[in-house]
Amino acid sequence: MNEKGISEKELFAELGSFSNADTNFKKVFSSMCTIPHPVAVKAQQQFSLSNIGDPGLFRGTCEMETEVIKMAAGILNHPDSKSAFGHLTSGGTESNIEAVLHMKNRFSDFSPGSSPDSGSKLNLIVPKTAHFSFEKIANLLGIELKKADIDSSFRVIPESVESLIDKNTIGLIGIAGSTEFGECDPIEQLSEIAVKHNLPLHIDAAFGGFVYPFLNQSQSNYNTKFAFDLPGVTSVSLDPHKMGLSVIPSGILIFKDNSVLSSSLDKIKVKTPYLTSRYQSTLTGTRPGSSVAATYAVMKHLGVEGYQKNVAYCMDLVDHFQKELKKIGLKPCIPPAINIITVAVSSESDKFDKAAAHEKTEKIRSQLLEKYGWNVSATKTIPALRFVLMPHITKEDISELISDLKKELDKKTV
Ligand SMILES: *Cc1c(COP(=O)(O)O)cnc(C)c1O
């Protein structure tokens, strides 16, 4: 650090050049985040000093947090949104960590004194398509991930999930809006399995939580139940900082009610002698009240209708994307359920050489970035390009991107 500070003018000139090196989302098809709604940004600024880790000092923000949880419970078809229990987090990763931590604690309530079979760890059953945050969770909590098989549309196979359950299983994970494909697992069947085996079922709806509930049935062939209207679902994570149009970082973790945690809450509860509250039972300490205010603001301002419009706009982009693809002789790997499209771009001859197909896909991905500035990602499950059609994208962007993609593909076949 300099001995003497620099002037505000100098400082902001510097910040301006850093900011110019960041994206403005103009050519970004790879991110699940987007430009936040202006009311969210305004509320974020208004509550920049708020810390809900010390709730007694920020009673107003805490009231908003309670209200956000209630609204989220409503989106998730909770039969009694007042009994829903949860809080805001930094996003899907933190929400998932905390949900699984509670599963682990709950497990020991049900098997008191029982240490898992010597040599075998506690385990969590996740679909093969689960987000990489579960790898972190396994490492952090010392549990084993058992990966259930997926079908040809990349949704988990319930029979595979059930066959993996053993006496060391702490819970099940279902996904509503998978990171690579946007697919929703058959949660109704997972719910039945969870009830039958008395296991908690956490739904990772980090992306899909602000999409599936607002889909217009005419634009999608999905009539998906994935939340608290199913008896087996015990918790859900959904991210306002993705399709919720709030600021970064904003995540929501929500439990059906207090009872699904059993005594786990007491186990992670710590005394907080220096704060205005006596106990804290969230994973993190200081938490941004500005994110609570931003999320409250955008949910109140948009309402259900606003989010329906947002999703309809993105699904319209999906239609346009498919039309443009068709013009150049391509189609999505699977009919997109929501606003994520995957497209195989390697040639037929690579069909039997998966590694080569991944390599070719990766090459095209990096060419799109280096030559044209398009940020696109590639999938790991299958060799394909992946496009997330977020609200910052326009139809013109899509047409331009596909024409650049065609140029690259034409070159490859020469
Ligand atoms: C984005 C995502 C996450 C992780 O969320 P972060 O906000 O990046 O921590 C977890 N699960 C799914 C399905 C996601 O799409």
Mean pLDDT (whole number) for 63-76: 97
Strand ranges (E), 3-102 = 85-89
Residue 299 CA: distances (Å) to CA of 80, 82, 173, 196: 19, 17, 27, 36
43 CA to centre of ligand 1 in angstroms:
24
Name residue 118's amino acid. S
Please check whether residue 245 is in contact with residue 267, taking contact to mean a CB–CB distance below 8 angstroms: no
Mean pLDDT (whole number) for 273-293: 88
Q: What is the pTM of this model?
A: 0.95
Percent of the chain whose predicted confidence (pLDDT) is above 70: 95
Structure confidence at residue 349 as a pLDDT band (50, 70, 90): low
Residue 408: what pLDDT? 93
Residue 174: what pLDDT? 98
Kind plus residue range of the DSSP H or E element containing 175: strand 169-175
Structure confidence at residue 277 as a pLDDT band (50, 70, 90): confident
Residue 229: phi and psi, rounded to 5, are -80, -5
Q: What is the pLDDT of residues 108-119, one digit of tens each?
A: 877 755 555 556
Mean pLDDT (whole number) for 241-263: 93
Architecture of the domain spanning 38-300: 3-Layer(aba) Sandwich (3.40)
Structure confidence at residue 58 as a pLDDT band (50, 70, 90): very high
Mean pLDDT (whole number) for 126-137: 97
Q: What is the pLDDT of residues 161-183, one digit of tens each?
A: 999 999 999 999 999 999 999 99
Q: What is the pLDDT of residues 374-407, one digit of tens each?
A: 999 999 999 999 999 999 999 999 999 999 999 9
CA 130 to ligand 1: nearest atom:
13
180 CA to centre of ligand 1 in angstroms:
11
Residue 268: what pLDDT? 80
Count of beta carbons in the 10 Å neighbourhood of residue 163: 13
Please check whether residue 390 is in contact with residue 312, taking contact to mean a CB–CB distance below 8 angstroms: no
Residue 414: what pLDDT? 46
Residue 271: what pLDDT? 83
Radius of gyration over every alpha carbon of the chain, rounded to an integer in angstroms: 23
Count of beta carbons in the 10 Å neighbourhood of residue 275: 17
Q: Which residues line ligand 1 (CB under 6 A)?
A: 32, 91-93, 131, 133, 175, 179, 204, 206-207, 239, 251
64 CA to centre of ligand 1 in angstroms:
23
Residue 138: what pLDDT? 97
CA 178 to ligand 1: nearest atom:
13
Mean pLDDT (whole number) for 326-332: 95
Percent of the chain whose predicted confidence (pLDDT) is above 90: 84
Q: Is the pLDDT of residue 158 over 50?
A: yes
Residue 243: what pLDDT? 98
